[in-house]
């Protein structure tokens, strides 16, 4: 994979979007920088981690919904 903006900060990405008049999801403006499923997602408060609105009711730590886990095939 090639990711030319891997070293950009969140602010640099937002500035680029605005300067180049790029489309983006309006939920960003409502405090949703990271979207999961509807019941698992809430808006974040200023200063919170960008992904803190996902799985918000659970304890801190790595959270995985299961979509990115490799599953074994039943033969």
Active site residues: 65
Please name which of 8, 17, 15, 51 lies closest in space to residue 33, comparing C-alpha atoms. 51
Instruction: For residue 54, list its beta bridge partners.
Output: 41
């Amino acid at each position: 994979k090639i990711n030319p903006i891997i070293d950009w900060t969140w602010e640099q990405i937002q500035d680029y979007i605005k300067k180049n008049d790029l489309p983006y999801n309006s939920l960003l403006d409502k405090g949703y920088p990271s979207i999961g499923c509807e019941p698992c997602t809430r808006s974040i408060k200023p200063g919170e981690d960008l992904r803190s609105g996902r799985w918000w009711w659970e304890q801190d730590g790595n959270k995985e919904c299961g979509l990115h886990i490799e599953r074994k095939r039943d033969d």
